[in-house]
Amino acid sequence: MEKLRLLSLATSDFAALRLRNQIYVDKSALVFKVASQNGKFLFVRPRRFGKSLLISTFESLFKFGLRDFKGLAIEKLWMEKKTYNVVRLDFSEIRPDFGLDKFKADLRDRLIDNLSPFGFRYQSAGSSILSQLSAWLKKQEPNSLVLLIDEYDTPLTSCLNDPELFNSVQDVLSEFYAVLKSNDNELRFVFITGIVNFNKGHLFSEVQELSDISLNTEFGELLGFTRGEVEEYFYPYLEAASQALNLPVSDLLEKLIKQYGGFCFERSAAEKVLAPWSLLNFLASPRNGLLDYWFESGGRPLDLMDYLNPDATMSPENYGREKFISLSSLSGDSSLESLSDLALLTQTGYLTIKAVKNGDTVFLDYPNLELKKAMAQLYVENLLAGKSAGQVGAGPIVQVLSEESAEALVHILNRLFAAIDYQRYPVRDEASVKAFTQVYFAGAGLGPKVEHHTAHGRSDLEVKANSRHWILEFKVSRGEDDPEQKLEEAVEQLKLKGYGDDPASEILFKVALVFSLEERKFIRWKEV
């Protein structure tokens, strides 16, 4: 087999990537669209989507011209001969974990370290660092400086749970951006990346010309890989993976899209991309299967998860519900108080745009199977007060559904329900039983369907495990109810509506179950 070109896995330095002849999915035409403008741009994307590599690409272009772009689309587009002083700042390094004074000192040191190669000299006995920065900028040649800021939002997202500190940090950063505004003539180009969009707040109030291109239809594919790009740039890897897994390339590609694709970052909801980190990791080791690479490697921003309202947004009953938000809310919030949980989940990649209707209503959903499973696991952890299903003895649900009996299913479900944090998540009714069972199955990588529409009506919950197809009908028993009568009602419903009676290759299991609200467990069950 012909030797495969190196993947750009974990490479965030554009010049190094090109020097090593690693595969670069050519986004340079889109890079040109942005870089050819004299402006200030904000661009937000989830973790592990290549923001740092994009910053490095701009750095190489403005610092060295077309040196590193041989054979790429931009080579025929970029006409500038001039090169620029490029200042690159990484704000992920300046978290206010140890208070405001330490944050200010870290910001000062970062500015000194990154500006001193260009002649900036900080005088500790003089005025503030920002005053000295402004005075220095005014001495620079017009249109001579490029400023690239990566992870601009880290100082803010790291203190979302401390409103006072958040506002103080925002004030400091706002002063910094005001300096950029007052020295606009010296700046050729400013590009700012992050995860969460704070563009409507106090932070950028002084930067009136800031263009937020995060939801711009032109740049929906600037990061992430389209289906066509995967086929064009990674086909030898797809062939190797198809052999390793004994799957046709076309079938493998469909599986990859379902597992790692589905991300949409633009307001028309037309363009979908795959997560680069997940795809590249899979292609590097296809025999490992379609693992949950993005989520497990940093797709879980704990600061943000801690900020979300666990009793509302992260209630398991919300897992399968339709979710929607206004486009204006998704494009940024004006204050900490108005930050939307759904906007945060979308900007961080847990949810994605599925459709936009009536101009401003955005319908959201999990982008792919990796995220459906990952989010379900988070819901289960909330349900179980921070524990996993495995830790409470409810781990092997896939094995039970694949190989064992209805009785075994009831036993493992009862282990789950016995471990639920009933103070926060009481089982109130049949809807709770269905929702909690749904997230449990989904967290195990299954694809449960609640109230699934069939030709015969709606089944309560359906799930497939290998060759088996389970149809579950739930009833809830309260103190005055007769459990046997409830069971018969469920049995009759399964029989009369004929759920699952359509011809299928799967082995069918239809089970009626009665859950006791007082005993907090299933007390009756019957296979139909």
For residue 481, give the CATH number of its domain.
3.40.1350
Average pLDDT over residues 296-323: 72
Residue 8 domain-assigned (yes or no): no
What's the pLDDT score for residue 199?
A: 85
Q: Total structural domains in the chain? A: 4
Task: Tell me: do 341 and 257 sit in the same domain.
Answer: no
Q: What is the band of 328 on the pLDDT scale with cuts at 50, 70, 90?
A: confident
pLDDT beyond 70 at 423: yes
Classify 470 as helix, strand or coil: strand
Domain for residue 235, yes or no?
Answer: yes
Whether residue 118 contacts residue 58, with contact meaning beta carbons closer than 8 Å, is answered with no
If asked whether residues 319 and 423 sit together in one domain, one would say no
| 44 band by pLDDT with thresholds 50, 70 and 90 | very high
| pLDDT tops 60 at residue 299 | no
Span of 128-132, 158-162, 252-256 with lowest mean pLDDT = 158-162
Same domain, 355 and 468: no
- Any domain includes 301: no
Quote the CA–CA distance of 429 and 461 in Å, as a whole number: 15
User: In which band, very low, low, confident or very high, does the pLDDT at 148 lie, cut at 50, 70 and 90?
Assistant: very high
Give the model's pLDDT for residue 457: 62
Q: Does residue 476 lie in a domain region?
A: yes
pLDDT of residue 303: 56
Per-residue pLDDT tens over the stretch 71-114:
999 999 999 999 999 999 999 989 999 999 999 999 999 999 99
Pair 60, 183 in one domain: yes
Same domain? For 363 and 494 the reply is no
**74: helix, strand or coil:** helix
Q: What is the pLDDT of residues 270-294, one digit of tens each?
A: 999 999 999 999 999 999 999 989 8
pLDDT for the residue numbered 51: 97
Distances (CA, A) of 391 to 380, 384, 385, 398, 446: 11, 9, 11, 16, 19
Considering the domain architecture, whether residues 124 and 208 belong to the same structural domain is answered as yes
What pLDDT digit, counting tens, does each position of 330-389 carry? 887 767 777 888 998 999 999 999 999 988 899 999 999 999 998 898 889 889 988 989
Q: Which residues contact 275 (CB under 8 A, 6 or more apart)?
A: 48, 49, 224, 260, 261, 263, 293, 294, 349, 368, 370
Sheet containing 449-454, strands listed edge to edge, beginning at the edge strand earlier in sequence: 449-454, 457-465, 468-477, 507-516, 521-527
Do 215 and 240 share a domain, yes or no?
no
Residue 459: the pLDDT is: 85
Q: Does 332 fall in a domain?
A: yes
Looking at residue 207, what is its pLDDT? Answer: 74
Q: Please name the residue ranges forming H helices in 152-226.
A: 154-157, 163-182
Do 193 and 291 have their domain in common? no
- Sheet containing 145-150, strands listed edge to edge, beginning at the edge strand earlier in sequence: 85-90, 145-150, 187-194, 40-44, 210-212
Domain that holds residue 320: 308-369
Query: For the domain that residue 137 is a member of, what is the CATH number?
Result: 3.30.370.10
Please indicate, yes or no, whether residues 410 and 349 belong to a single structural domain of this protein. no
Q: Determine what percent of the chain is predicted with pLDDT higher than 90.
A: 78
Mean pLDDT, rounded, for 397-412: 96
Q: How confident is the model at residue 317 (pLDDT cuts 50, 70, 90)?
A: confident
Residue 359 shares a structural domain with residue 397: no
Q: Are residues 247 and 179 both part of a single domain?
A: no
Are 43 and 185 members of one domain? yes
**How many percent of the chain have pLDDT more than 70?**
94
Q: What is the pLDDT of residue 252?
A: 98
**How confident is the model over 8-26, as a mean pLDDT?**
96
Is residue 388 included in any domain, yes or no?
yes
Q: Which of 334, 369, 404 is the last residue of a domain?
A: 369
Task: Answer yes or no: are the C-beta atoms of 271 and 44 closer than 8 Å.
Answer: no
Q: What is the pLDDT of residue 256?
A: 98
Burial group, residue 327, by CB count within 10 angstroms (0-12, 13-18, 19+): middle
Residue 490 CB neighbour total at 10 angstroms: 24
Establish if 1 belongs to a structural domain. no
Mean per-residue pLDDT, 309-337: 81
Average pLDDT of the chain is 92
pLDDT of residue 221: 98
pLDDT of residue 451: 79
Question: Is residue 43 assigned to a domain?
Answer: yes
pTM score of the predicted model:
0.92
